[in-house]
Structures are given as structure tokens and as C-alpha cells.
Structure 1
Amino acid sequence: MLEKLIIVRYGEIGIKSPKVRGRFERKLIDNIKTVINDEIDLKQGRIYIYPQDIEKALQSLEKIVGIVSFSPAAVTRTNHDSIKELIETYTNELVDEGSFSSDDSFAIRCRRVGEHDFSSQEMAAYCGSVVYGVTQSKVDLSHPDFELFVEIRGNKTYVFHHKIQGLGGLPVGTQGRVVSLVSSGIDSPVATFLMMKRGCSVTMINFNNHPYTSGSNEKILKIYEKLKEYSAGAKLKLYQIDYGEYLHKCIDKAPERMTCILCKSGMYQIAEKIAEKEKALAIIDGSSLGQVASQTLPNVLATRYSTSMPVLSPLIGLDKVEIENIAKKIGTYDISILPDSGCSAVPRYPETNAELHLVLEALETIAAENEFEKAVSSVKKLK
């Protein structure tokens, strides 16, 4: 019976300095251990997992940020007889399950780490002869129907035929904490995911615009649960702000066309106050340049002017289709498109070319700072 395991590979972690690389490797392994409670080993730039339930482990690895690819594999000792026995057994299993047949051409891809009395090419030829002896299939090194990978690392040899693409990125929790403005729409959950993929721990902030919206938390809670699947060992928080009173002030005392500008400016300024309490280093939002009225360049300047903390917008250069494709991939799209009432505070003709001095005057007119303090005092943790 074959000894089965999973080989996990990472990418840009490997080019860090030895000290940073070690820290990132330990964090990635810790994150894996939050979802896979099995033996895990790190050797020579590879992570080896010996799972009790290999299918369940493979599914879990698909949502661990920092993993570039992974493969279910079999392992044996590094000597010709042991490798021959493993290749024969492995190939017969593939034939029995219909993954490989005598009609398929094949190639052996062999790589080697360490000192051995054979070259990679010699071992590839040897393994190819073993596969041919089982299947009588022809060899095609340029365009094979089937590839068998043989990875020799010191006194251990690993065999696999499938590389599963991972999420890539940096392990969550290696780049500090950010606060993310998250609505129940399509864009902001994607922006939040992309910052998690760059290694950030996230505090989500949702603004409840009731009575200008339904006030229901059903969608935002579902989005939170979906994003939590990618957070691994990092604590994902969700706070909510009662924002309807501030919006009412904007509508009542400021020019109607500026409602969206004042709304977004207020969100940044409130997020900054919460970020300070959370010891977060930046604010994240789902802005995509020119997509909606508040995201024109003049409006971006006007809404962020009063905020000293960096505001990062990972979607700024993406169009709607690109953003939707990511949302579908991570599973938030179907939640975001669930019907809701929308926001009735949006003016019929929103400002698209805000003048900064007029925005600042409007914020002063509505005594915005007092409203922000009240809004911050209303903060509650949903999750």
C-alpha cells in the first residue's frame, strides 16, 4: 500500500531574507494547522502534510492564502528498487481508475535535490522504462497526454501526477491589520479578499444606512462567513456603524447632489477612528476608478482629503467584469447579487466633479465631526 501525503509549495515567500522567510513559513504552517489537524513537516522549501483524510485536506488547502500549488503524492526511499516498486504501483492505480491508459503518450518530469549517484535525466529514463513496462505507452516529451512527476529530495522520493493551483499571495497575518469598508455589494468583499491575499489581517466595517436601506444584516453576515473561510488563523472581525442619522443630516442641511460625497467622506473619517483603536495601519475600500459617481478622480480627492491614514483601493484599475470574476471565484458573488432594497439616500443627479472647498464647507455646515463621534459611539461587533 502506498504511503500517501500532500506536497505544498509556496512562491514569493522563498525569495525573502532567511529571517523573514522563516517567519512567513511558520505563519503559513500555523494557518494550515487551523484547518488541518495532521502531521505537518517543512523541509527544503516544501511543506509535507500526512493527512488522515486526504480529500478533506485537499479541499481545505484550496482556501489557504500563501500556497501556490499542492499535490497529492506517494513517497518511498531513494533507491532504484524502491522507486521502481512505487512507480509500478502508482501507475497501476492510475490505469485502474482510468486516469492513464496505453493509448496515452507520457513524459517523466524528474527533479533532484541533494547528492546522488545518478543524474535527473538518468532517473527520468529509468522511471520511464518502468511506466512503459506497465502500460506499453509511447513517450512524448514535448506534448504528452500524461505527465508523471518524480521529485527526489535527499533520501526520499516523491511521485505525483497532478498540481492543484493554490491562491498564492502571502500568509494572512504577516502584514499587519487593516480596516475594510464592506457593504453587501460585489466590490468591497473582493477588495477585502485581495488584502487578505496580501497577508493582511482584516477588521470589516459595515455602515447601516437604515432608514435609507432595509437595515437587514443577512447579506453582510453571509459575506463575512464566506470571507472567514480564507482568514485561516487570523481573527476576522466585523463591526457595524449606525449611519442613518448622519445621512439624514447630509440630506437635510447640505446640497442634495453632494450626499454621496459626504457619505463616503464620513465613512473614511469614521473608519480612521476605529482603525486607531484596532491598531490598524490602513483603510481599504472597493473603489474602481470611474465606476460610480463617488469614484471619479475629483471625488476621490474630495472624499479622502480629511483622512490622514492611507486609503488603499486594490480594485482601482479593474473593470466590473474583472471584479465579478474574482467574486465568483471566491464565492461572494452569489451572495452580493441577492435582492435588496438599495439606498434611497442616493440623489437623482449625484456630484461627479466635487470641488474640495465646497465639500469642506458642507462638512462644517452639518457639524460632521460631532456626527462622526456619535456614529463611532454606536459601533457594535456583529462577529
Structure 2
Amino acid sequence: MRLLKEFSASAVIAGFVAVLVGFTSSAVIVFQAAQTLHASAAEIASWMCALGVGMGLTSIVLSMRFRVPVLTAWSTPGAAMLITSAAGVSMGEAVGAFLVSAALITLSGFSGWFERMIGRIPISIASGMLAGVLLRFGLDAFAAMRSQFALVFPMFCAYLICRRLLPRYAIVVTLLLGIVLAATQGLLRVDDVRLELATPVFTVPEFSWQALVGVALPLYVVTMASQNVPGVAVIRASGYQVPISPLIGWTGAANLLLAPFGGFALNLAAITAAICMGREAHEDPARRYVAAMAAGAFYLLIGLFGATVGSLFLAFPKELILAIAGLALLGTIGSGLAAALGNESEREPALLTFLVTASGIALAGIGSAFWGLLVGVSALAILRTRPPARP
């Protein structure tokens, strides 16, 4: 079987790191969003179950189908939007809004209009946005030394040594060393780890104009602009050619099935996908899809075991997560910058895209990746426009 032949430990570790980074960096926001809707403990567990199963199955199936590392994620900006916009909305109305948003995402994907729009974005602009999105992770890896120098600095040294001697396993060794150091320094919070399976809780959807205008439409716009656009940019900036329409369409379809159980929004991943698409996953780009499939398997575990796996991931110290994420993304950041600035005629618009995206600015609830892309494309159009010839 081809998958067994192309299996590698480095790909599995890259998948684990991607899930670790994705879960620990934004799970709290999802919990807060559920609590805004007055979700019970069982309903919160159901949300994690639906999201984990949805991300797991879509990542595994789409990566296997196209032999490209396709990683999906929940919409973190969407969850953040729910915290502020869903106040006063019942759980049934929220689920109805989730269904409407998922239907719009499905239509946007299978109709092909989203792919036609995204295909007009130059690779230099997409790469500038990718580098801008990932920059803070590279900076955070070294900022973590301020609070946990004894943990992060040895990890950094181990990474450099392994990049010289064992490049394929640099992240593997660095992660294992970080876990050992965290354990010896008493930084692992294993007391909160407990064995518990999640049970799906079905919520009957209700539909109201308040939820449609205040939740469904903003959730759709934020997910497409702040998540799917960067997700496509990561795929293309990493050199992979894959039809985008079915990727968007099938994530929307999965979202439709899982919305009544708490799957509020699924989309293409960007930051965590970059980990699976980098050289740390495998030296051969054609074998990196295994990393996304491994990440999908870990997401399935999160979905099935809910609070157990969640508490296990949350047991790691924050500095360890920041360090391993930043080091795993160094190669992708460098490649993004090289692609962004390589074409001299597009260098300035790409640089503007990078700077705006890296600034973290958010307007109208939409993240900096979208605005960086908009500024870059606008600058490129303006600079390429020839002034009218003088008579």
C-alpha cells in the first residue's frame, strides 16, 4: 500500500505538532464561545467532538484523495466573533445560523466562484501574506525565552545541532527534549488529565432574522476571508497544485452535517497546515500529505475522547508550544519571504502585504491576513497601471 511505503516518523510528529499548536492556541476561545450560548458541560464536550471528528475526517479524506497535505481547522476568528455577537441568541438559533453559514460555504466551494477569485492572486502576494501570518510564531519562539529560558534555550540549541546532524528529525528531537525538560522542571500539569469519552448532543436548529444577520452572515464572511483565503495561500505558496473548489465545498458539507452537534465552522487551516507542508514533515514534498493525515488522526482522537485529550494537550507549558511552533515554521517563513521578494516588479506590493498582515490589524471583525491581501493586490494594481500618455 502506497501510504505505508510513504509513512515516516517525521510526518507523524509534524502532524502531532500541528494539532498541538492548533488546539492549545485556540481551544479556550471555542470554550468561551460555547459558554456565551450557555452551553452545558455535555454540550461543550459535544462541540469538541463534532469539531474534532469533522477536522479529522476532512483532513484524512482530502489529503488521501489529492495526495497533498490538506489540513482543516475550526474557525478561530469565527469563535471569537461568536463570543461578542451571539449574546442573547439561543443555542437552537445559533445552530440554525451555523447551518446557514455552512450552506453558504458549501455553495461558494462547489460553484467554483471562490477558486476563480483566489486564482487571480499572484504567488508573491500570497507568499507575503503567508510570511506575515507566520512571523509572530517565529518571534514568539524567542520571546518565550524571557519567561522560561531554561526550557526554551536548550530546545533551540538542540534544534540547531539536529539541523546539522539529523535534519529530518530536528523537530522530533527538539519536542522530546522539551517534554523531558518540562517534566524535570515541574512544568507539566498532568494532574488535570482524566479519561472521558465525549457524547454527541443534538440540538434542534431554529431560524431567526436576528441570528441570520448577527451570526450566520458574519460567521460566513469571517471564515472565508480570515481562514479559507490564508489556507489557500499556504497551499499555493508551498508549491502544491490542487483544485480548491472541492476542498472548500467538502469542508462546508461536513460542516452542514456536524452543525447540530456544535460544529460551528470548518475551514482550511493556514498556520497549522504550514507545519505539515514544511521540510520538517519530510524532505520530499510528495510525501508530506502523510503529516496532514496524521494530524487528522490526532484530531479524531480529540473528538472521540474530548476532555481527556484536551486536558492532555493543555498539560504542556505555553512556552514549549510557542518554541516548538516557531522552530517548526522557520523553514516555511524563510520560503515565504524568498517567494514574496524574489520578483522585483512585485516586491513592494508583496512587502506591503507582509507588513500589513504581520501588524495584526483587525477591522470589522476580519483579521489582518485579508487586509494584507487586499492592500497588496491594490498596490500591485496601482503600480502596474501605466499613466496616460501625454498628447
Same fold (TM over 0.5): no
TM-score normalised by structure 1 residue count:
0.23
Which protein has greater RCO, CA pairs closer than 8 Å, 6+ apart? 2
Normalized per residue, the structure richer in helix is 2
Larger radius of gyration: 1
Normalized per residue, the structure richer in strand is 1
